[in-house]
Amino acid sequence: MTADLLVTGADLLATVDDARREIAGGWVAITDGAVTAVGGPADPEPDAVRTLDATGCLVTPGLVNTHHHLYQNLTRAFAPALTGGLFDWLITLYPLWARLDEEAAYVSAYVGLTELALGGCTTSTDHLYVHPRGAGDLISAEIAAARELGLRFHPTRGSMSLSVKDGGLPPDDVVQDDDEILADSKRLVDAHHDRSPGAMTRIALAPCSPFSVSTSLMSRTAELAADLDVRLHTHLSETQDEDAFCLERFGRRPVEYLADVGWMSDRVWLAHVVWPSEPEVARLGAARVGAAHCPSSNMILGSGLAPVAELRAAGAPVGLGVDGSASADSASLWLEARTAMLQGKLRHGAAAMNARDALEIATRGGAACLGRAGEIGELSVGACGDLAVWPLSGVAFAGALSDPVEAWLRCGPVSARHTVVAGRLVVEDGVPVHPGLDEQLAVHRRISERIQTAL
């Protein structure tokens, strides 16, 4: 059988499959969007319509981004919000985000997903929780951008329903009522959620955080997600301020609150999870609740160092997230993987976390968070044909000869040479394949200026 794409001659192919096979001189064949064969120099390569030469490169599964707010790239490194912790940062930015509309959602997704693809990401989620009145269908707008670019996309229908007047953090004009949120959640699942293997678009439901949604919305969203059989996402245990908020408002810590509202389930993955106590880590692990680790954001906002090793040891799937572009500002999963490795060493010593652990979190771990274990995040026969080809040459890699996986993450910085989704190139020779980037950057500039103009 002739393959659609053959990626061949890699210095090393790190499959991150069940056996964690690493094949020097390895190759991967992709047909009809899925991996159809994996082999080494001794195995006969199939004929292919197209061949990509990966000489001098490391080939990995495409990286999986489990937490993001694409719209926030419209307010990156915003000067008035550079020094606050999470709550101050949010209060400064909510009024700007109230200006979102469909055009802003489309262009921020286009630019943000392009940025992710350049960093070797092939599947991204997004958490869009600001739906100003009259703004239009923001989620469908970002799905349109993902389809044009060819990235696998798991947007979440985010929501906020608890505003300042009810004791929450966001202003009144960016929250919606529970019934409106739930009806729109169902509409989006009906319109876009693809349950088939190899799906390019899946929807999850995602109330924003304990301090911005009502208790009833948390419970009712969990019931709706079970009815629709879709996944659930929210921010949890991000800061000590959140612990204090939950204790004061609910008389409970965030993880206890999560259990009370029916979220202690393997349908759930949580962003950040920085401050769970030891028993809470055990409880999350036992329930197989996933965690999206966002190391850069957690450092920039001063939130803390997440207990990644502890969560993994307890059985919780841990993935990697670049988080919103206005907190982490940069959106490279390579950078997040490296930072996760460095944080792991900082917490528990140099031997505690290595590049393979970080690669695993960035691939298989993310797949598990999104309910797609075995399908994405690994290069095995039958898995999606999503991969990244990383150059290991030039000044940054001179002398790094002994371990290509460690070199990949310890040297650099590095972007993907090629990024492939479902057997199709979305980045080729370090350049996005879709021709619209310059035009979209001009639109992005215009909309960013509008949104950032003083009230």
x/- site string to Zn ion, residues 355 to 394, per CB under 5 A? ----------------------------------------
3-state secondary structure of 252: coil
Q: How far is the CB of 316 from Zn ion (least distance, A)?
A: 18
Rounded to an integer, what distance in angstroms lies between the CA atom of residue 120 and that of residue 114? 10
Q: Which helix (H) or strand (E) holds 104?
A: helix 102-118
Q: How far is the CB of 129 from Zn ion (least distance, A)?
A: 9
Residues 108-167 binding Zn ion (CB under 5 A) are none
CB of 94 or CB of 390, closer to Zn ion: 94
Q: How far is the CB of 302 from Zn ion (least distance, A)?
A: 15
Contacts with Zn ion: how many residues (CB under 5 A)?
Answer: 2
Q: What is the DSSP secondary structure assignment for residue 376, as one 8-state letter?
A: B
**DSSP letters of 184-235?**
HHHHHHHHH---STT-SB--EEEE--TTTS-HHHHHHHHHHHHHHT-EEEEE
Which residue carries 């609740």 as its tokens?
289
CB of 126 or CB of 323, closer to Zn ion: 323
Interface segment toward Zn ion; rule CB under 5 A; list 4-12, 141-149, 315-323, 368-376: 315-323
Rounded to an integer, what distance in angstroms lies between the CA atom of residue 62 and that of residue 66? 13
Dihedral sign, Cα of residue 102, residue 105, residue 107, residue 109: negative
Q: How far is the CB of 67 from Zn ion (least distance, A)?
A: 6
Q: How far is the CB of 128 from Zn ion (least distance, A)?
A: 11
Amino acid making up residue 335: L
Q: How far is the CB of 104 from Zn ion (least distance, A)?
A: 18
CA distances from 29 to 35, 85, 95, 183 (A): 6, 47, 49, 43
Interface segment toward Zn ion; rule CB under 5 A; list 18-26, 179-187, 321-329, 437-445: 321-329
Q: Which residues of 61-100 are buried (b: 16+ CB within 10 A; e: fewer)?
A: bbbbbbbbbbbbbbbbebeebeeeebeebbebbbebbbbb
Which residue carries 């599964």 as its tokens?
61
What sections of 261-387 are H helices per DSSP?
A: 278-286, 295-300, 308-314, 333-348, 355-360, 366-369
x/- site string to Zn ion, residues 244 to 273, per CB under 5 A? ---------------------------x--
Rounded to an integer, what distance in angstroms lies between the CA atom of residue 217 and that of residue 215? 5
CB of 60 or CB of 234, closer to Zn ion: 234
Q: How far is the CB of 153 from Zn ion (least distance, A)?
A: 17
Q: How far is the CB of 340 from Zn ion (least distance, A)?
A: 16
CB of 63 or CB of 271, closer to Zn ion: 271
CB of 29 or CB of 128, closer to Zn ion: 128
Interface segment toward Zn ion; rule CB under 5 A; list 55-63, 225-233, 322-330, 386-394: 322-330
CB of 331 or CB of 407, closer to Zn ion: 331
CB of 77 or CB of 191, closer to Zn ion: 77
With contact defined as beta carbons under 8 Å apart, do 225 and 234 qualify?
no
CB of 225 or CB of 271, closer to Zn ion: 271
Binding site for Zn ion (CB under 5 A): 271, 323
